[in-house]
Chain A
């Protein structure tokens, strides 16, 4: 599977435990939400 993803130009990510994955999402939320709000961006 990794070889097929790599061949498609994607970067496979090593398996991550669900709790670690959830922490990554929360970290991204803390990073990006203020930036989106500050930029005044919205989706239609």
Chain B
């Protein structure tokens, strides 16, 4: 089974920052990635930061902050100074799925202003060959009849670029 959903997106905090006297950007920019090294979001951030950095003539640092479904990273972005120097890679996970999966989030997705989507990724559902469930409906039925744990990424590890 192959499902394509919009994948990684780029957002930034704008808030009510005062008009800047200096042209933007006049110093390095940070892109916070809510997942670990080698993930799709990390890959996209690397490509984007390289291309945009060359275009604007400013260094762009990618900061990986995995864990809690991206909650810690989004909390950091939300609390950052809203001056356009802190950007974030967001996903359907951080801005759609987490709202249904968690009873409470440490961030408010509505306070992180979306800029533009960048790329879509393929998500593939797999099961062990011994698992009798072969279709999404069968997986859902199995999930309702027993306790099922699903994961889509490795456990977080600190991995500064």
Contacts and interface: CB of A to CB of B under 8 A. Distances in A.
Given A5-B44, A13-B6, A24-B6, A32 B114 contact: no
Interface of A: 1, 4-5, 8-13, 15-18, 21-22, 24-25, 28-29, 32-33, 35-37, 39-43
Contact of A25 (B96, B119, B144): B96
Shortest Cβ-Cβ A-B pairs, 5 listed: A36-B100, A1-B51, A43-B101, A11-B120, A10-B119
Interface of B: 4, 6-7, 9, 40, 43-44, 47-48, 51, 69, 92, 95-103, 109, 113-122, 140, 143-144
B114 A18 contact: yes
B interface majority secondary structure: helix
A24 to B, nearest CB: 7
Contact of A11 (B47, B97, B114, B121): B121
A12 B119 contact: yes
A1 B100 contact: no
A13 B97 contact: no
A5 to B, nearest CB: 5
B47 A5 contact: yes
30 contacts: A1-B47, A1-B51, A5-B44, A8-B47, A9-B122, A11-B7, A12-B119, A13-B118, A13-B119, A13-B120, A15-B116, A16-B116, A17-B116, A18-B113, A21-B9, A21-B116, A24-B6, A24-B117, A25-B96, A25-B114, A28-B92, A29-B96, A32-B92, A32-B97, A36-B97, A37-B100, A41-B100, A41-B101, A42-B101, A43-B102
